[in-house]
């Protein structure tokens, strides 16, 4: 049996009430081996409710990182985040799943797991459904807010590996998110990244724009973690606003629109993968319920098996930082 997926029992808006149920579901329904990390007494009480006391191991962690804790501060205490990441770092778990604060997860993962060889900074990857029926991987969706161009170029390499595994596209195309389709349009970071991407062994499509995010124009859209996070949340908000307007206009009932809403609900993304580390980390939405946590465990398990977290060994890394 493969190493278990470590699940942060204390993360998210609902804590063990949802995370423990998610871990049980991942184990029973999907056959994913799991271990829960958090306050042992509390976690065991929730396991007992699912009749799963002898079934799933618990690793004790006394501290809980609040959802609004800044990233760096989270690494100090012996929290479920820190201890979960250390399990992966030591090789005692194959992957870590948390619905905690993204910034805190990133900080703990970098410290407890470490960056993969050659990787400058980690990046969050999210697969967004396209209007054409496929999906586009958005990377970085919020791990590194101020990257230099060399980091953005690496994100493209990481996103390509991720798209190959998650979308099943053999040779994914990559677009650089910018403010004009012509090369050289953008801000300083984008222009620098564009020059580097043109020289990398990946299928670089050139610049794409904000309206390409859901259009299925490319398989991977690469950007800095600030723009990527704003865009991810803007997609969620804009889909919601549009459906509200449609429903209010009497054009359709809210019930009929639920399927479209579900498609862009952050709950259904199955989590964002934190790439570029020596191990696998999946960040689920803070509001995740048990089913979403279970899905995140399945994704984490598959990613750990596929080994897509670092730079591919047969491909050169991006240029080193000057």
- Phi then psi for 81, rounded to 5 degrees? -65, -50
Of 150 and 224, which has the nearer Cβ to a copy of itself?
224
Sign of the CA dihedral with 29 first, then 35, 41, and 43 last: negative
Of 18 and 224, which has the nearer Cβ to a copy of itself?
224
CB of 260 to a copy of itself, least distance (A): 5
- DSSP conformation class of 168: -
Task: Label residue 68 exposed, middle or buried (CB < 10 Å: 0-12, 13-18, 19+).
Answer: exposed
Of 239 and 302, which has the nearer Cβ to a copy of itself?
239
CB of 81 to a copy of itself, least distance (A): 17
Per CB under 8 A, residues contacting a copy of itself are 68, 70, 103, 130-131, 142, 145-146, 177-180, 182, 184-188, 190, 209-215, 223-227, 229-246, 249, 251-252, 256-257, 259-260, 263-264
CB of 37 to a copy of itself, least distance (A): 24
Of 128 and 277, which has the nearer Cβ to a copy of itself?
128
CB of 142 to a copy of itself, least distance (A): 6
Of 265 and 319, which has the nearer Cβ to a copy of itself?
265
Q: Helix crossing, 149-166 with 188-198: angle to 10°?
A: 60
Closest Cα to residue 272, out of 71, 56, 31, 109? 109
CB of 52 to a copy of itself, least distance (A): 35
Please say whether the beta carbons of 109 and 94 come within 8 A: no
Task: Label residue 286 exposed, middle or buried (CB < 10 Å: 0-12, 13-18, 19+).
Answer: middle
CB of 274 to a copy of itself, least distance (A): 15
E-only strand ranges, 280-320: 280-283
Please say whether the beta carbons of 273 and 109 come within 8 A: no
């Amino acid at each position: 049996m493969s190493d278990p997926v470590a699940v942060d029992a204390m993360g998210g808006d609902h804590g063990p009430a949802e995370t423990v149920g998610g871990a049980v579901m991942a184990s029973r329904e999907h056959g994913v081996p799991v271990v829960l990390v958090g306050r042992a007494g509390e976690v065991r009480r929730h396991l007992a409710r699912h009749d799963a006391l002898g079934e799933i191991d618990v690793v004790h962690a006394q501290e809980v990182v609040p959802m609004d804790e800044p990233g760096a501060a989270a690494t100090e205490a012996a929290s479920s985040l820190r201890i979960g990441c250390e399990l992966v770092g030591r090789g005692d778990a194959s992957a870590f799943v948390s619905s905690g604060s993204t910034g805190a997860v990133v900080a703990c993962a970098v410290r407890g797991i470490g960056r993969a060889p050659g990787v400058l900074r980690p990046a969050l990857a999210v697969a967004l459904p396209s209007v054409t029926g496929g999906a586009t991987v958005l990377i970085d969706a919020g791990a590194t807010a101020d990257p230099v161009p060399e980091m953005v170029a690496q994100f493209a390499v990481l996103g390509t590996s991720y798209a190959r595994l998650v979308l099943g596209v053999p040779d994914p195309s990559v677009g650089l998110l910018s403010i004009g389709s012509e090369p050289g349009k953008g801000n300083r970071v984008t222009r620098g990244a564009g020059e580097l991407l043109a020289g990398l062994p990946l299928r670089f499509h050139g610049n794409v724009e904000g309206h390409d995010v859901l259009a299925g124009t490319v398989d991977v859209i690469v950007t800095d973690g600030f723009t990527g996070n704003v865009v991810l949340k803007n997609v969620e908000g804009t889909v919601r606003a549009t459906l509200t307007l449609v429903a209010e206009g009497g054009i359709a009932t809210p019930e009929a629109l639920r399927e479209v809403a579900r498609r862009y609900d952050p709950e259904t993304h199955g989590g964002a993968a934190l790439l570029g580390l020596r191990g696998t980390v999946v960040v689920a939405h803070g509001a995740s319920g048990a089913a979403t946590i279970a899905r995140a465990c399945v994704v984490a398990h598959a990613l750990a098996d596929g080994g897509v977290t670092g730079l591919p060994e047969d491909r050169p890394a991006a240029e080193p930082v000057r």
